[in-house]
């Protein structure tokens, strides 16, 4: 889909297209770009494509060697939405990708994996393997008893979902806050308590209309690091990418690394 969007606007990928059926397709394309000393990589795709590119560059110790631009052509495009880009004005995104200036932005870590937009857990494995809408995913949520610790405190309780945000939007435009800052060295944490699910549906509906999905019992934190232990398995995701394995202990933190992101 991303490649079709690019070609439709007469933009031809210089090194080819990512083939999701091949495990190292992204790596090979990035290797080509680095071999030719490219100073800017344009990711035509969504949050997942940007996530894989960031982590590939990080593993190759080249994260600071190139600028990254994003053209929203994926499923949710939540990070692109945050920096003011839209699939409806995709030609503007292509122009910005080539001529815009890059600035250093914070990155998060879920254990040893980078994320740019957000990370967290709550969906069960069957929901993590495909891009379900938020209302569908809500049906799969089960209360998880957890303990969360940060530098100045801790909390225990039963929660449906933990969302750790570096940027505000998730699941195609839902958000809890518009005040997230990618330059403050902090992560915004939202813990959704185990309340009757029918109370969450109208909140999600308002979120689809662009209003922040906030309610009184929502636990909110702004911290540089959060350690979470649970009594059952959880499957932490990063930028919407499916997790590799379950865990009962996970750490979210601000990465010492930063990414140079092209933005308006």
| pLDDT at position 22 | 54
* Confidence class for position 99, pLDDT limits 50, 70, 90: confident
Any residues with CB less than 8 A from the CB of 60 and at least 6 apart, and which? 30, 31, 34
| pLDDT at position 136 | 60
Whether residue 92 is predicted with pLDDT greater than 70 in this model: the reply is: yes
Radius of gyration in angstroms for the set of CA atoms belonging to the chain, rounded to a whole number: 18
Mean pLDDT of the chain: 84
What is d(CA 8, CA 98) in angstroms, rounded to the nearest whole number?
Answer: 17
Residue pLDDT, tens place only, 104-135:
999 999 999 999 999 999 876 654 445 445 55
Any residues with CB less than 8 A from the CB of 103 and at least 6 apart, and which? 260, 261, 263
Any residues with CB less than 8 A from the CB of 128 and at least 6 apart, and which? 235, 237, 242, 243
| pLDDT at position 2 | 46
Residue pLDDT, tens place only, 33-86:
888 888 899 998 899 999 999 999 999 999 988 999 999 988 889 999 999 998
Greatest mean pLDDT among 23-32, 47-56, 202-211, 214-223:
47-56
* Confidence class for position 141, pLDDT limits 50, 70, 90: confident
Q: Which residue has the tokens 């929203």?
A: 72
- Give 14 or 226, the one with higher predicted confidence: 226
Q: Is the pTM of this model over 0.75?
A: yes
Evaluated on CA atoms 229, 230, 234, 238, the torsion sign reads negative
Q: What is the mean pLDDT of residues 196-221?
A: 77
């Amino acid at each position: 889909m991303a490649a079709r969007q690019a070609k439709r606007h007469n933009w031809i990928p210089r090194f080819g297209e990512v083939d999701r059926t091949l495990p190292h397709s992204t790596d090979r394309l990035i290797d080509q770009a680095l071999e030719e000393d490219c100073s800017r990589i344009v990711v035509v795709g969504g949050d997942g494509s940007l996530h894989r590119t960031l982590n590939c560059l990080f593993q190759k110790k080249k994260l600071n060697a190139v600028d990254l631009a994003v053209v929203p052509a994926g499923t949710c495009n939540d990070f692109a939405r945050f920096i003011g880009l839209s699939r409806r004005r995709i030609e503007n995104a292509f122009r910005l990708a080539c001529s815009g200036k890059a600035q250093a932005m914070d990155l998060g870590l879920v254990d040893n994996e980078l994320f740019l937009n957000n990370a967290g857990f709550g969906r069960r494995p069957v929901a993590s393997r495909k891009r379900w809408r938020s209302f569908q995913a809500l049906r799969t949520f089960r209360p998880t008893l957890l303990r969360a610790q940060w530098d100045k405190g801790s909390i225990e309780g039963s929660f449906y979902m933990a969302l750790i945000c570096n940027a505000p939007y998730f699941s195609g435009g839902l958000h809890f806050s518009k005040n997230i800052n990618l330059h403050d060295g902090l992560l915004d944490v939202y813990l959704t308590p185990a309340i009757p699910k029918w109370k969450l549906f109208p909140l999600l509906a308002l979120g689809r209309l662009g209003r922040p999905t906030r309610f009184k019992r929502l636990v909110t934190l702004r911290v540089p690091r959060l350690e979470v232990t649970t009594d059952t398995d959880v499957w932490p995701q990063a930028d919407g990418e499916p997790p590799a394995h379950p865990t009962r202990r996970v750490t979210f933190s601000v990465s010492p690394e930063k990414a140079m992101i092209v933005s308006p």
